[in-house]
């Protein structure tokens, strides 16, 4: 008989690629993870993982079991949801991980909505970038992630996660007031090819959006300054340190002295924001109201797609 907790460990090892990283995500010791993998191999009668200099990878038998693992764990989430619905009493804590702008734009309004529509549900909010929040959901560190699509992100049909689209917003060009294009009604990205750039660090989903937009315009941006805080990005632009692309919602309420904000000429780079939960958990009586509140908060925002 295969134990479900060992399937969680197998998936964590497949996601994190090393026993040490999987152990840290699951709050276990590396030796405990290795022991559970060995026990799972004994239960199945197959070698499931291979260790190498660059970490751990699944064997063909391990890949087969991983496919079933995703289905089994999703079904267990559904079972928990149905049992919770059966016992009713929608009261409890749901943990949400979101990037800072997402917290301001949809998570905080969802907290206010739930206080009226489902006062028994308490939201616990954690600030985490989109590329960090999805692994947190898979590792059961949080229940809901508010994340951004990025290169390498799990796709919408990922068997481990259920996606709920929230909103999409364009990036605007931010240039110093003395910049040669500050008077243009729209900024062609190709005209910024030789400028120094200010932007998020690699790994931040917004970094991918900026780089991809520049690549589509025919150049690689020269990132002279890096910060994940858009207030810092705008401050550097106001000091004539470079140009930037910033999500429109991040500019709300910001001191824009010294910069000019212009839409991008042509198709604007866009970040698409979604909520994600472990597949099978989307109808849980505690999680469903949270997803609905996030969706309602997103619809109330005047954000163009």
Ordered domains of the chain (ranges, CATH) = 4-83 (1.10.10.10), 90-166+272-300 (3.40.190.10), 168-270 (3.40.190.10)
User: Are 212 and 151 spatial neighbours (Cβ–Cβ below 8 Å)?
Assistant: yes
For 222, the 3-state DSSP assignment is: strand
**22 backbone φψ class: left, alpha, beta (φ>0; ψ -120 to 50):** alpha
Distance of alpha carbon 8 from its chain centroid, rounded?
21
Q: Which position has the token pair 């009713």?
A: 88
- Of 110, 73, 124, 109, nearest to 288 by C-alpha is 110
Distance of alpha carbon 156 from its chain centroid, rounded?
12
Distance of alpha carbon 150 from its chain centroid, rounded?
8
Distance of alpha carbon 298 from its chain centroid, rounded?
16
Q: Count CB-CB contacts under 10 A for residue 29.
A: 13
| Alpha helix positions (H), 230-286 | 230-238
Q: Count CB-CB contacts under 10 A for residue 300.
A: 12
Residues 6+ apart with CB under 8 A from 103: 125, 127, 146
For 70, the 3-state DSSP assignment is: helix
Greatest extent of the chain over all pairs of C-alpha atoms, in Å = 70
**Cα distances (angstroms) measured from residue 109 to each of 50, 83, 128, 137, 298:** 47, 29, 18, 21, 9
> ∠ CA 302-303-305 to the nearest 5 degrees?
140
Percent of the chain with pLDDT over 90: 51
pLDDT at 75: 80
pLDDT at 14: 87
pLDDT band (50, 70, 90) for residue 247: very high
pLDDT at 304: 46
- Of 267, 240, 238, 265, nearest to 251 by C-alpha is 238
Of 51-55, 119-123, 236-240, which one has max mean pLDDT?
236-240
Strand partners, 51: 56
Residue 218 exposure: Cα atoms within 13 Å on the Cβ side? 7
User: Are 189 and 283 spatial neighbours (Cβ–Cβ below 8 Å)?
Assistant: no
pLDDT band (50, 70, 90) for residue 305: very low
Q: How far apart are CA 205 and CA 182, in angstroms?
A: 27
Of 148-152, 209-213, 234-238, which one has max mean pLDDT?
234-238
pTM attached to this predicted model: 0.70
């Amino acid at each position: 008989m295969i134990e479900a907790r060992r399937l969680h460990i197998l998936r964590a090892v497949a996601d994190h690629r090393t026993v040490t990283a999987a152990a840290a995500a699951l709050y276990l010791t590396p030796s405990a993870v290795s022991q559970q993998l060995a026990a799972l191999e004994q239960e199945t009668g197959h070698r499931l993982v291979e260790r190498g200099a660059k970490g751990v990878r699944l064997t063909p038998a391990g890949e087969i079991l991983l496919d079933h693992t995703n289905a089994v764990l999703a079904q267990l989430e559904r079972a928990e949801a149905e049992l919770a619905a059966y016992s009713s009493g929608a009261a409890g804590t749901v943990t949400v991980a979101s990037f800072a702008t997402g917290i301001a734009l949809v998570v905080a309004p969802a907290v206010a909505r739930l206080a009226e529509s489902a006062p028994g549900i308490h939201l616990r909010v954690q600030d985490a970038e989109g590329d960090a929040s999805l692994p947190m959901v898979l590792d059961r560190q949080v229940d809901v992630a508010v994340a951004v699509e990025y290169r390498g992100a799990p796709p919408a049909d990922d068997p481990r996660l259920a996606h709920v689209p929230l909103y999409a917003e364009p990036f605007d060009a931010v240039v110093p007031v003395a910049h040669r294009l500050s008077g243009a009604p729209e900024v062609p990205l190709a005209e910024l090819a030789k400028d120094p750039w200010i932007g998020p660090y690699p790994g931040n989903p917004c970094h991918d959006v900026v780089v991809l937009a520049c690549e589509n315009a025919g150049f690689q941006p020269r990132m002279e300054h890096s910060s994940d805080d858009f207030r810092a990005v705008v401050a550097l632009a106001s000091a004539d340190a470079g140009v930037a692309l910033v999500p429109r919602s991040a500019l709300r309420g910001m001191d824009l002295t010294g910069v000019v904000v212009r839409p991008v000429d042509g198709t604007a780079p866009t970040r698409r924001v979604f909520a994600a939960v472990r597949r099978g958990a989307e109808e849980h009586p505690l999680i469903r109201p949270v997803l609905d509140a996030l969706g309602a908060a997103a619809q109330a925002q005047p954000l163009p797609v």
